[in-house]
Every structure is written in structure tokens, then in C-alpha cells.
């Protein structure tokens, strides 16, 4: 799913797709035929190709660190899916290597690229909201609701020790920190497993899990379906969020509210064409409009008002900004390996807090 999204965004940004390396030679050949590109026989062959400038890594989480480190060592710019790594130590090595390489190394925290997210951030920078009193929200999905839903993400060896939080909670924290200007300093968290056994061989991410699995083998689930967090920022602002991949009817609802001394703001990723702005004397709904608002909101509004933009346009803008950075530009808000490292540190603190039941420093 995500590999095809990367490919489309790269092509729209003007890239020439040289080839693909998938999970096996037959799968590489299949995808290469669909995309009308070459199939690389190995990672060595890909990295030895001097025509390759940028490598997009969309493979299972545990492969991110070795693949990205080899790509950087080969002088390639890298776009690596999140989580950046399955451990903080690996994420630290990746971020340091990227910083020292002089190459562009980006992580697709693409919700930063919703035009109205940029509008809220610009208004915060302009002082419209005042100091923050409270931050709260959630990120809810239901694609793991069925007991038949499974896949490599459920396996902690391939997916890492955290599933729901590393996959989507990291998005919420990155977005809220970037928009609000606050940094989470400590957390107390609890995680839960809603389905304790899943098929050992599952469908790909987001495929239909309503039919019984062909596999008769089940595995114990060791990664969380849900997480509840209470956080405190470095400046003392209280925050909370709930993360779930088993909330029926919620397809991809990243939602946050920022409550300030003078005004509040609400964003809902499933309804990204409007934001809610609250004040003591009432509230109003603002619509995306390339003719009004902040410079970044206008830049990222590629369609006229009333012509809905969404996740795909965010991804396209992220990849375009990544390539612009490779060309020497400094686009605002481009998420890098340092942001991926930040997410890894928050994830590790969430897991530690869930184990020890106490406030834990990030």
C-alpha cells in the first residue's frame, strides 16, 4: 500500500523511477511489471546503480535501519518510512549518520502537510491562541478490529516492540509537537492487547480481514492494539491522547485540540478541509482556501476551495519538498531523521511507562 503511494508521489514530483526491490524476486518482478520499471535482484544491485539518487524505504520496520544505513553509505538520499527504527539506539545511529553525510534523509510525517495544519501553526506563531492550557486528542483506526487481521506488523521481530503507538501514535505526537511548539518531556502510559491471538500468516496491511484466514496457525499477540497516554510538556502543559487500531468505524481519525489562553483550535484528519477555532465569545469554522490565510496554507492548497484535498496531496507535497531539499532549498517543516529519532524516544518512553506504571522522562 505505502510503496505505491511513494511511487506515485515521486513520479508527480518529477522523479524517474529506476526500479523496485520487493520482498522476494518473484514479488519484485511482479511489481516491476505493474510499474513498468526494472526489478533489482538485490539491495547491492540497487545501491550500485549510479543512476539512483534517492532510495525510498517502505519495507518492514526492522529492516529500516540496515537498509537506510547502507543507502546513506552508498551516497544516496533516503526517504524512510516510520518508525525510523525499532530501537532508540538504531534511530540515534541513523540520525547521526544522516547529519554527518550531508545527504537529505526524510521521514514521512505527512500530516504536517495538510494546509489547515499549517494554518493553525501560523496562527500559533502569530500569538493568536496565547499560552497553551491543555492539549488533547486521539488517533483511532479499526483495521485490526477483526481477530483475523494480522501481518508482519503484529510480529515484534519484524514490526518492533510497539505496534499501534509506533505506527500511529508517533504521527499524533509529531504533529502536535510541531503545530503547538511544545515538547513532551514526560509521560505516563498504559497499553492493552484487545485480540490476544492472530493468524501467523495474515493479509497485507488494510486488506479485507473479514474472511477466515487460510492459515490454521495462530500466534500470541505481544504488541499493543491500544494505548492511553497522559503527557506533560517541558513548559508544564498537560496533554493526553488515546491511540487505537481496534475502534470500530474509525478509519483514520487523527484528531487534536489545542486549548489556549485566548483561543482554541481543532483539527480532524478525516475532515481536513475545515478547522474549528474557538474563542470566549463563540466559535467559527474555517475552510481551506488558497486565496486566504497563511503563506504555507496557500502554498499547499493545490485545488480550489470546495475541491477536497487529503492524504494523497499531503504525501505528494512531502515528497516534492524532499526533492526540493535535495536541490538545495530549505522547505519549512520537512520531517527528517531527527524527527524520526524524536518519535523513537517517545515510543520507548511510552513502553517503559507502561511496564513500570509511573511517570517516565522522554
Residue 160, phi-psi category: left (phi > 0), alpha (psi -120 to 50), beta (remainder): left
Q: Residue for cell digits 505506527?
A: 167
pLDDT digits (tens, 9 = 90+) for 73-86: 999 999 999 999 99
Per-residue pLDDT reduced to its tens digit, 249-299: 999 999 999 999 999 999 999 999 999 999 999 999 999 999 999 999 999
- The C-alpha cell that represents 131 in the structure block: 499560552
Phi and psi angles of residue 283, each rounded to the nearest 5 degrees, phi first: -140, 160
Domain with CATH 3.30.360.10 in the chain: 112-306+336-361
CA distance 20 to 289: 37
Q: What are phi and psi of 224, to 5 degrees?
A: -75, 145
* pLDDT for res 295: 97
Backbone dihedral angles phi then psi of residue 194, each to the nearest 5 degrees: -85, -35
Half-sphere exposure of 241 (CA within 13 A, CB side): 30
CATH number of 2-110: 3.40.50.720
What is the structure's pLDDT at 256? Answer: 98
Give Dmax (Cα) for the chain. 64
Tell me how crowded residue 361 is: count the other CB atoms within 10 A of its CB: 11
With a cut of 70, list the residues of the chain below it in pLDDT.
201-215
279-283 long-range contacts, Cβ below 8 Å, gap at least 24?
A: none
Instruction: Indicate yes or no: pTM above 0.85.
Output: yes
pLDDT score at 138: 98
Q: Which tens digits make up the pLDDT trace of 196-223?
A: 999 986 555 555 555 555 557 899 999 9
Residue 153: closest CA among 251, 71, 219: 219
| DSSP single-letter state for residue 321 | H
pLDDT at 215: 55
- The β-bridge relationship of strands 226-233 and 238-244 is antiparallel
Helix (H) and strand (E) counts for the chain?
Answer: 12, 16
Residue 202 in grid coordinates: 495474515
> How many other C-beta atoms are found inside a 10 Å radius of the C-beta of residue 331?
15
Q: Which of 150, 147, 142 is nearest to 246 (CA)?
A: 142
Where in the chain do CATH 3.40.50.720 domains reside?
A: 2-110
Grouping H, G, I as helix, E, B as strand and the rest as coil, residue 247 is: coil
Say yes or no: domain 112-306+336-361 is CATH 3.30.360.10.
yes
Sign of CA dihedral 317, 332, 118, 96: positive
- Closest listed residue to residue 86, CA positions, set 153, 175, 23: 153
- Looking at residue 216, its pLDDT comes to 72
Amino acid at each position: 500500500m505505502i510503496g505505491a503511494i511513494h511511487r506515485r508521489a515521486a513520479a508527480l514530483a518529477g522523479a524517474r523511477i529506476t526500479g523496485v526491490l520487493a520482498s522476494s524476486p518473484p514479488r519484485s518482478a511482479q511489481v516491476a511489471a505493474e510499474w513498468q520499471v526494472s526489478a533489482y535482484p538485490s539491495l547491492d544491485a540497487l545501491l550500485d546503480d549510479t543512476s539512483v539518487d534517492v532510495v525510498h524505504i517502505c519495507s518492514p520496520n526492522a529492516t529500516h535501519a540496515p537498509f537506510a544505513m547502507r543507502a546513506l553509505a552508498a551516497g544516496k538520499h533516503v526517504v524512510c518510512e516510520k518508525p525510523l527504527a525499532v530501537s532508540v539506539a538504531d534511530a540515534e545511529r541513523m540520525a547521526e549518520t544522516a547529519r554527518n553525510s550531508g545527504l537529505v534523509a526524510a521521514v514521512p510525517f505527512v500530516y504536517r502537510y495538510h494546509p489547515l495544519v499549517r494554518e493553525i501553526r501560523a496562527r500559533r506563531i502569530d500569538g493568536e491562541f496565547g499560552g497553551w492550557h491543555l492539549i488533547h486528542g486521539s488517533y483511532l483506526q479499526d483495521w485490526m478490529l477483526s481477530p483475523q487481521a494480522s501481518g508482519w506488523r503484529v510480529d515484534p521481530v519484524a514490526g518492533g516492540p510497539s505496534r499501534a503507538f509506533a505506527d500511529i501514535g508517533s504521527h499524533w505526537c509529531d504533529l502536535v509537537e510541531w503545530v503547538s511548539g511544545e515538547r513532551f518531556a514526560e509521560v505516563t502510559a498504559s497499553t492493552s492487547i484487545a485480540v490476544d491471538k492472530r493468524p501467523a500468516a495474515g493479509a497485507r496491511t488494510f486488506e479485507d480481514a473479514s474472511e477466515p484466514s487460510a492459515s490454521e496457525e495462530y500466534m500470541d499477540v505481544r504488541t499493543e492494539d491500544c494505548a492511553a497516554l497522559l503527557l506533560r510538556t517541558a513548559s508544564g502543559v498537560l496533554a493526553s491522547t488515546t491511540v487505537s487500531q481496534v475502534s470500530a468505524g474509525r478509519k483514520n481519525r487523527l484528531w487534536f485540540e489545542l486549548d489556549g489562553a485566548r483561543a482554541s483550535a481543532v483539527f480532524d484528519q478525516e475532515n481536513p478541509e475545515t478547522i474549528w477555532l474557538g474563542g470566549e465569545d463563540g466559535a467559527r469554522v474555517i475552510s481551506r482556501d488558497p486565496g486566504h490565510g497563511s503563506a504555507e496554507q496557500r502554498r499547499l492548497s493545490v485545488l480550489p476551495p470546495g475541491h477536497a484535498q487529503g492524504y494523497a496531496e499531503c504525501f505528494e507535497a512531502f515528497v516534492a519538498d524532499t526533492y526540493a531539499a535535495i536541490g538545495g532549498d530549505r522547505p519549512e517543516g520537512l520531517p527528517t531523521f531527527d524527527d524520526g529519532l524524536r518519535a523513537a524516544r517517545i515510543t520507548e518512553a511510552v513502553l517503559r511507562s507502561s511496564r513500570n506504571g509511573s511517570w517516565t522522562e522522554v
